[in-house]
């Protein structure tokens, strides 16, 4: 089965908690603080795998979760880094975020991309030593991981796309110019999924061709099989439009050409303007010469190469013509800074949000406050005090006062009730 579109949920690992620990020294009941930092949570990483040709595996496993970082240890030891979750994808996989933005584009074998970063490890108590406190009983919890949904879309990486109505000879053509041997039959819709083949030009150049399922009228609107695969020609640099010069029905080659052109245009204007060559096929059949002459009168701006895929005639001329067009239209690479990584980072956000709850209690939540809350060890008194200072610094106290909250009243911070001390 050829799967080229899936939705996936990924979750990066939470950072490990920082440790509160003290050195043990002979005759000293409590030595200096030595609690180490928590380890970083595991990333979610994409990796290109040339052995894969579809996103089929991802249809069955839709949730990927990296491991959390290990907690910090005594003697200032760092916690273990959480194991990454590695998602193997076929070359040509593009990943889109929920807003539809392109996040990354995997094109090479073993190429990796950090899709979602793991949470930072919390700092151990060693990091909280200061002039006023040389035995801090405080540490941070690890930064939370991030859970996000992405859409994975496979768009084949072919240089050339073979397009045309059904039964015009696309698969026959790829089978005689490359090592790919697709099934060929007399009935329409033979080709159900795209086939990729490597083609060698006699001059030593080579390129990758995708043989596409036949397109029919209405393809851009979802008619027939071909439409699902139109995305796979989006990335080709050259289209070879195969036109049957001896159709079995009475349909005119020029009409056939126009039908496909209209479909390309309806799907994506850019596709219709892609550098194109017409392979006028089945020239071995009687009557094709006359049709070709008529066709040439209608189509003047696109090079037309008459061939017979069946008898393998004039194929080199076609390959040379494709080669020159490819040279004239080199690959445009996406720049790495076109892409973005995701990390738990409410700082980009607002500091916090405040609203009156149904029970008349003010609720403060969201943004940077959420991160601070999640990283606070409430078991430690000093951590709670630090949390209170951080709230003041963020402006939470001020905002509550403005709302008319009085000393001793209850407020809800990130879902937990606290007493407002003013």
Ligand X SMILES: Nc1nc2c(ncn2[C@@H]2O[C@H](COP(=O)(O)OP(=O)(O)OP(=O)(O)O)[C@@H](O)[C@H]2O)c(=O)[nH]1
The verdict on 186 binding ligand X (CB under 6 A) reads yes
| β-strands 238-244, 206-211 pairing | unpaired
Q: 302 near 272, Cβ under 8 Å?
A: no
- What DSSP string runs through 151-206? EEEE----SEEEE-STTSSHHHHHHHHBS------SSS----S-EEEEEE-TTS-E
Q: How far is the CB of 189 from Mg ion (least distance, A)?
A: 8
The minimum distance between CB 172 and ligand X, in angstroms, equals 3
What is each CA distance from 87 to 46, 82, 173, in whole angstroms?
5, 16, 35
Question: What residue is closest to ligand X based on CB?
Answer: 214
Q: What residue 376 binds from ligand X, Mg ion, none (CB within 5 to 8 A, per partner kind)? A: none
Which of the stretches 111-119, 233-241, 278-286, 367-375 binds ligand X when contact is defined by CB under 6 A? 278-286
Q: By CB under 5 A, what part of segment 140-199 binds Mg ion?
A: 170-171, 190-191
- What, of Mg ion, ligand X, none, does residue 285 touch, CB below 5 to 8 Å by kind? ligand X
β-bridge partners, 410: 419
CA nearest to 68, candidates 149, 143, 150: 143
CA 68/CA 70 separation, integer angstroms:
6
Task: State how beta strands 353-356 and 362-365 pair.
Answer: antiparallel
Is the Cβ of residue 106 or residue 283 nearer to ligand X in the bound state?
283
Rank residues 75 and 181 by Cβ distance to Mg ion and give the closer one: 181
Does 308 interact with ligand X (rule: CB under 6 A)?
A: yes
Residue 376 binds Mg ion, judged by CB under 5 A: no
Task: Report the residue from 2, 254, 310, 339 that binds ligand X according to the rule CB under 6 A.
Answer: 310
**With contacts defined by CB under 6 A, how many residues of the chain interact with ligand X?**
23
**Residue closer to ligand X (CB basis): 142 or 169:** 169
Residue 190 interacting with ligand X (CB under 6 A): yes
Pairing between strand 160-163 and 238-244? parallel
* Torsion of Cα atoms, 249 then 254 then 257 then 261, to 10°: -140
Stretch that binds ligand X, among 59-67, 254-262, 303-311, 341-349 (CB under 6 A): 303-311
- DSSP, collapsed to helix, strand or coil, labels residue 386 as helix
Q: Is 253 in the site for ligand X (CB under 6 A)?
A: no
Residue bearing tokens 């911070």:
413
Nearer to ligand X, 38 or 166 (CB): 166
Residues 192-221 that bind ligand X (CB under 6 A): 213-214
Is 170 or 371 the residue whose CB approaches ligand X more closely?
A: 170
Number of residues that this document lists for the chain: 422
Minimum separation from the CB atom of position 205 to ligand X (A): 24
Give the separation between CA 328 and CA 377, rounded to whole angstroms: 62
Q: What residues between 343 and 402 interact with ligand X by CB under 6 A?
A: none
Residue with Cβ nearer Mg ion (278 or 396): 278
| Beta carbons of 281 and 257 less than 8 angstroms apart | no
Q: How far is the CB of 174 from Mg ion (least distance, A)?
A: 8
Burial (CB count within 10 angstroms: exposed 0-12, middle 13-18, buried 19+), residue 397 = middle
166 binds ligand X (CB under 6 A): yes
C-beta closer to ligand X: residue 22 or 229: 229
Question: Measured from the CB atom, is 118 or 213 closer to ligand X?
Answer: 213
CB-nearer residue toward Mg ion: 191 or 376: 191
254 binds ligand X (CB under 6 A): no
φ and ψ at 31, to 5 degrees? -80, -165
Q: Which distant-in-sequence residues (6+ apart) come within 8 Å of 208 by Cβ?
A: 157, 158, 159, 160, 196, 197, 198, 199
Total number of residues that touch Mg ion (CB under 5 A): 4
Binding site for Mg ion (CB under 5 A): 170-171, 190-191
Q: Please give the residue ranges that form the binding site for ligand X (CB under 6 A).
A: 164, 166-172, 184, 186, 188-191, 213-214, 281-282, 284-285, 308-310
């Amino acid at each position: 089965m050829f799967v080229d579109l899936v939705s996936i949920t990924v979750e990066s690992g939470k950072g490990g908690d920082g440790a509160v620990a003290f050195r043990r020294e002979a005759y000293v009941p409590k030595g200096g603080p030595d609690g180490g930092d928590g380890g970083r949570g595991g990333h979610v990483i994409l990796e290109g795998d040339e052995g894969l040709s579809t996103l089929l595996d991802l249809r069955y496993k839709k949730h990927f979760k990296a491991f959390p970082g290990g907690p910090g240890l005594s003697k200032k030891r760092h916690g273990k880094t959480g194991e990454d979750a590695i998602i193997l994808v076929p070359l040509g996989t593009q990943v889109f975020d929920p807003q539809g933005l392109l996040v990354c584009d995997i094109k090479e074998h073993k190429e990796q991309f950090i899709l979602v970063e793991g949470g930072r490890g919390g700092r151990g108590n060693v990091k909280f030593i200061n002039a006023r406190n040389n035995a801090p009983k405080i540490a941070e919890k690890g930064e939370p991981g991030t859970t996000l949904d992405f859409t994975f879309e496979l768009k084949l990486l072919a240089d050339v796309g073979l397009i045309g109505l059904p039964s015009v000879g696309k698969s026959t053509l790829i089978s005689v110019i490359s090592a790919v041997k697709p099934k060929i039959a007399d009935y329409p819709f033979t080709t159900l999924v795209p086939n990729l083949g490597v083609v060698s030009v006699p001059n030593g150049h080579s390129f990758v061709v995708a043989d596409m399922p036949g397109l029919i009228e209405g393809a851009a609107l979802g008619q027939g099989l071909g439409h699902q695969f139109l995305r796979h020609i989006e990335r080709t640099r050259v289209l070879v439009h195969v036109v049957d010069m001896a159709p079995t029905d009475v349909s005119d080659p020029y009409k056939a050409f126009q039908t496909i052109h209209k479909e390309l245009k309806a799907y994506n204007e850019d596709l219709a303007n892609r550098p194109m060559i017409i392979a006028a096929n089945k020239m071995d059949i009687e009557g094709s010469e006359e049709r070709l002459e008529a066709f040439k009168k209608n189509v003047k701006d696109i090079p037309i190469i008459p061939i017979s895929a069946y008898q393998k005639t004039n194929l080199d001329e076609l390959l040379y013509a494709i080669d020159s067009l490819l040279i004239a239209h080199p690959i445009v690479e996406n720049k790495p800074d076109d892409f973005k990584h995701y990390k738990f980072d409410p700082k980009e956000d607002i500091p916090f949000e405040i609203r009156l709850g149904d029970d008349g209690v003010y609720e403060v939540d969201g943004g940077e406050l959420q991160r601070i809350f999640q990283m606070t060890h409430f078991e430690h008194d000093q951590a709670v005090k630090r949390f209170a200072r951080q709230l003041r610094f963020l402006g939470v106290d001020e905002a509550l006062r403005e709302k008319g909250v009085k000393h001793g009243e209850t407020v809800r911070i990130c879902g937990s009730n606290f007493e407002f001390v003013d």
